[in-house]
Amino acid sequence: MFLVTRSQLVITSDQVAEEGDDYVAIACDYSQDTKPRFIIWNEVNKARYTLVDDVKTVNGRYSLRTTPGNAELIITKPVRNDTNRRFVCEIRTRKGKYIRSNPSILKVYYLDQPVLTASKSRVHEGESVILTCIKQDGDPVPSITWYKDGQALSCTTDTSRCTTSEDALKIYIEAATATDGGRYICKAESDQYRGEDGKTSNQFDLKVIHLTITFESEAGSATCIAKGHPKPSSVMIYNDGKMIDKGELIASVKINEDFFFK
């Protein structure tokens, strides 16, 4: 994941990290001159700025960690703004000569959590609703996947319902049905952040208010079944305006004539 750069006796390398890491270490190999008089790590962007050396080994987020022939620049808690910063290791030899490495460039990957919103949280069957997953920033650029009740939704095949813009991914439900109700999330992933390393949005529960009643008659009995959301409290069978039977979700009676339910 890095390129080695060389400058005479001092070798450094480009380095990568992820935002949120405890630290990132950039090595400086000076093993060909094992007894330097002085070690310095500088930042060299628009100007040269000394971060740490073997006298001041700690400076804020920066510290120097040395082993024979190597001096590591330790940067604690790397953040996205550290990306493309350039660091140079400088060795002063016992002969009084300064040897500098080529610049070592730091790359910090990051991924923000997407945010899920909806035009409504409860809809009646047949009403429309829009679910919106607001993309957040990331490097590499992330992709978004919708999930309903733990199962991935394909916005590639269902393009009539899904639209993608630079800022958001939306699901349009024109006429909600009972099957549209459920638990929705969206997940951001990139080449650097896959699987458990991806970022998941807040959870959204879509409630679709519906009621389904079925009435069946067979072998001299009539059965009435009620299903829906919210859960029906009772179902009743009437004959000529008089209640014949009542149940929580199912009611049934013997029939000798036509009945109706309520």
- pLDDT bin (cut points 50, 70, 90) of residue 261 is very low
- pLDDT bin (cut points 50, 70, 90) of residue 141 is very high
Query: Which is higher by pLDDT, 175 or 163?
Result: 175
The total domain count for the chain is 3
Q: Evaluate if residue 106 carries a pLDDT over 80.
A: yes
Quick one: 139 and 201 in the same domain? yes
The mean predicted confidence, pLDDT, of the chain is 85
pLDDT at position 147? 94
Quick one: 96 and 55 in the same domain? yes
Quick one: 177 and 224 in the same domain? no
**Rounded to whole angstroms, how far apart are CA atoms 80 and 20?**
9
Quick one: 86 and 50 in the same domain? yes
* Domain membership flag for residue 67: yes
Quick one: 61 and 131 in the same domain? no
Q: Evaluate if residue 4 carries a pLDDT over 50.
A: no
pLDDT at position 6? 44
Quick one: 12 and 75 in the same domain? yes
pLDDT digits (tens, 9 = 90+) for 216-233: 777 677 787 878 887 877
* Domain membership flag for residue 214: no
pTM over 0.85: no
pLDDT digits (tens, 9 = 90+) for 26-41: 999 988 765 667 899 9
Q: Evaluate if residue 1 carries a pLDDT over 50.
A: no
* Domain membership flag for residue 86: yes
Quick one: 13 and 94 in the same domain? yes
Quick one: 76 and 171 in the same domain? no
Quick one: 10 and 60 in the same domain? yes
- pLDDT bin (cut points 50, 70, 90) of residue 45 is confident
Host domain of residue 196: 112-209
Domain with residue 66: its CATH number is 2.60.40.10
